[in-house]
Amino acid sequence: MQNNANEVAANTTKIEQSPSNFKVIVNEFRKDKVAVVSLILAIVIILASFIGSMVFNVGGATQVNIMDRYTAPGVNGYILGTDEGGRDMFKYLFFAARNSITIGISVALIIEFVGVVLGTISGYFGGWIDAVIMRLVDFWMIIPSLLVIIVLVTIVPQYNVISIILIMSAFYWMTTTRLMRSLVLSEARSEYVMASKTSGTSDFKIMFTGVLPNISSLIITDLTLTIASSIGIETALSFLGFGLPMQTPSLGTLIGYASNPDLIFNRWWVWFPAVLVLLTLSLSINFVGQALRRAADSRQRRA
Amino acid sequence: MWKTILRRILIMIPQLFLLSVLVFILAKMMPGDPLSGSFQQGQSAAQMAALRQQYGLNNPWYIQYASWVGNMLHGDLGQSFVYKRSVTGLIGERAVNTFWLALMSTVILYVIAIPAGVIAGRYEGSKRDSAISVTSFILMAVPPFVFYLLALIFFGFFLQWFPTGGSVSSTYNPGTLGYVWDRIYHMILPALVAGIITTPSTIQYLRTGVIDNTNQDFVRTARSKGVPDRVIFNKHILRNSLLPIAAFMGNQITSLLGGSVILETVFSYPGMGQLFVSSMTSRDYPVVISLVLLFGFLTLLGNLLSDIIMSIVDPRIRIE
């Protein structure tokens, strides 16, 4: 009897279920070899940078060794040679990648959180709350973000990874907020929300159990693309010399070594590997993001 | 329409006020004051204090803010610590370089993006379409500074087709044809890369615009009336797809100006963006502050331009 009831329940759920978000994503990835390769590459780079910097931390990768400055790759056991300070570029690269990825992911998570909260409130309630939040977004959009971030990074005393994460998040949350607002706005007008409201479900519950799950795949898509763009901004700041301090290298710091023809051509190993890592990382995260976007939007799905 | 524009300009006033307050706060957070630049040897602390009093630096912040705004409206942005000259003159010189570079980038952007977007949309699903779409996906994913740097290294340092810095060689005299050509020559590579890297969004917009419009009822009607395909495409599809592109132009120019910080630094091109980075490095705060304000103001103008173009091309959105 018990078994039978379970079976019936299992059957009915099977019939009612349309393909879940997850299944749609898996299907989309299966059709797209580039997305699969990108996903694997992105995971490998992210894991390698974290594991690598933990392993090499024991040997002291940021250690300066003046005797070995600008050693060519392969000489004296330096796989990728050394830089001006005699640092082992191979190990250094793992640290740089880890720092850039950490900042990129943290900034994207903060931006996404702020964007989802403000955007949901704004789009769901509308009225004066919406007006206030949107005027705030409008104003924040006219601030020249890159310039103000550079100024803040320079005048904030004792800045570190945490402060650069907070400063960057403070100036790039607006686009996500706008996107989330427009998504929630169209969801909030749909019939199931009306029905829930009429039957007395609390706004809070509708937002978190009704609206947000329905736009979750778009949130994940935006998060992925925001990670890539945040890594791009952080490395650009470090490249210009306004990112992380020297002791905490970023991929941008290493790319910034390419400052004169001698370094560019005769000491290519100090900057070129970082370019390759950054390009691979950025392209693969973006391709994963594009595949997620196609999975989230049925019109763009590949038949 | 004038009503819309006037109303749009009125909205700018509170935004401008907030921007100026923000920049003023930034300026106050910076070490040093406007007198640090004019400090001379042999001045005693008492003399400095007297000067501070004279320049109103001991006044409450709102009076300082008011006089700061007043000076700005008169075009007085203070003195550069490093160059020992007026900030207005210094920025004015650099602004000309940035303006020409941004203009050339914009031209290149549309010369490439419009045909590419139209072809991709018109021949949806073709080999050309996928080539264009894949290229623009890749361009979207590449961080701009890496793209600039690689272009500079390859075409500037390696092939030596283009100069690797500056805006003009010192061998030419202003006013001569050679001088003009040399300035253009210095701009080609930066303008090209800045234009190319901004194309993806315009290409995507145009492509979807063309595809969407092709499936519209008015196109089907025209086709059933027997209007030639070429006329349908040029008159009905293309025109409607170009509208959002036109409206987007103001923002596009703004983002090109904003991107000039990285672009000009990579190419050592003496514009406002490069001035900002070098002033920040040399802690030349009056220049830094003025540039932050100016870039914010230009963003405002870009948005205004977009909204005005939008209200001209699309009467539906005019505010009544």
- Domain architecture of chain A: domains with CATH: 23-65+81-301 (1.10.3720.10)
Return the half-sphere exposure (C-beta side, CA atoms, 13 A cut-off) of residue B35: 16
- Check B143 against A235: CB less than 8 A apart: yes
**Residue B98: burial class (beta carbons within 10 Å; 0-12, 13-18, 19+):** buried
Lowest mean pLDDT among A18-32, A168-182, B14-28, B126-140: A18-32
Average pLDDT over residues B78-85: 76
Q: Grade residue B178 by pLDDT with cuts at 50, 70 and 90.
A: confident
Mutate to test the interface with A, among B145, B287, B295 (most CBs of A within 10 A): B145
Q: What is the mean pLDDT of residues B55-67?
A: 74
Give residue A1's pLDDT band: very low, low, confident or very high (50, 70, 90). Answer: very low
Query: A14: pLDDT confidence band, cut at 50, 70 and 90?
Result: very low
Q: Give the phi and the psi of residue A112 in degrees, each rounded to 5.
A: -65, -40
Q: Where does the pLDDT of residue B288 fall: very low under 50, low under 70, confident under 90, or very high at 90 and above?
A: confident
Highest CATH level, class, for B92-313: mainly alpha
Query: Considering chain A, what is the average pLDDT of its residues?
Result: 81
Question: What is residue B193's predicted lDDT score, i.e. its pLDDT?
Answer: 93
Cross-chain residue pair A241–B281, CB shorter than 8 Å: yes
C-alpha pair distances (Å), B44 with each of B33, B58, B173, B264, B311: 17, 18, 46, 41, 60
- B37 to each of B57, B87, B154, B250, how far by Cα in Å? 14, 12, 41, 37
Q: From A239, which residue of chain B is nearest by alpha-carbon distance?
A: B145
Residue A143: which of B153, B157, B296 has the nearest Cβ?
Answer: B296
Task: Tell me what the mean pLDDT of segment B43-50 comes to.
Answer: 70
* Range in B10-24, B94-108, B233-247 with the lowest mean pLDDT: B233-247
Q: Where are the domains of chain B?
A: 92-313
- pLDDT above 90: percentage of residues in chain B: 18
Nearest Cα residue in chain A from B30: A155
B-chain residues near A236 (CB < 8 A): 143-145, 262
pLDDT of the residue at A169? 93
Residues of chain B with C-beta less than 8 angstroms from the C-beta of A150? 261, 276-277, 280
Query: Over the stretch A261-295, which tens digit does the pLDDT of each residue have?
Result: 777 777 777 788 889 999 999 999 999 988 888 88
Choice among A203-212, B27-36, B246-255 with the minimum mean pLDDT: B27-36
Pick the residue from chain A with its C-alpha nearest to B272: A147
**Which of A142, A240, A282 shows the shortest C-beta gap to B142?**
A282
Q: Report the pLDDT value the prediction gives residue A158, as an integer from 0 to 100.
A: 74
Q: For residue B44, how many other CB atoms are within 10 A of its CB?
A: 8
- Distance, CA of A10 to CA of A15 (rounded, Å): 9
Q: What is the mean pLDDT of chain B?
A: 83
Taking contacts as CB-CB distances below 8 angstroms, the residues of chain B near A282 are 141-143
Question: What span, in angstroms and rounded, lies between the C-alpha atoms of B284 and B71?
Answer: 19
Q: Poorest-confidence range of A40-49, B131-140, B303-312?
A: B303-312
Does the ipTM surpass 0.90?
no
Give chain A positions within 8 Å (CB) of B143: 231-232, 235-236, 278, 282
Contact list in B for residue A279 (CB cut-off 8 A) is 142, 146
What percentage of residues in chain A have a pLDDT greater than 70?
Answer: 81
CB < 8 Å to B300, chain A: 142
Could you give the CA distance from residue B303 to residue B297 in angstroms, rounded to a whole number?
10
Tell me, what's the pLDDT at B55? Answer: 63
The pTM (predicted TM-score) of the whole model is: 0.85
Q: What is the least distance, in Å, from the CA of A77 to any CA of chain B?
A: 29
CB contact under 8 A, A236 and B30: no
Residue numbers in A near B137 (CB within 8 A): 286-287, 290
Q: What is the pLDDT of residues A52-63, one digit of tens each?
A: 887 776 555 566
Nearest chain A residue to B267 by CA: give it.
A259
| pLDDT classification of A141: cutoffs 50, 70, 90 | confident
> Each residue of A185-235: pLDDT tens digit?
888 888 888 888 888 888 888 888 888 888 888 888 889 999 999 999 999
Interface of A with B (CB under 8 A): 138-139, 141-148, 150-152, 154-155, 228, 231-232, 235-236, 239-242, 252, 255, 258, 261, 264-265, 275, 278-279, 282-283, 285-287, 290
- Identify the pLDDT of residue A112: 94
How far is A221 from chain B, CA to nearest CA, in Å?
A: 14
With a cut of 60, say whether residue A8 has pLDDT above it: no
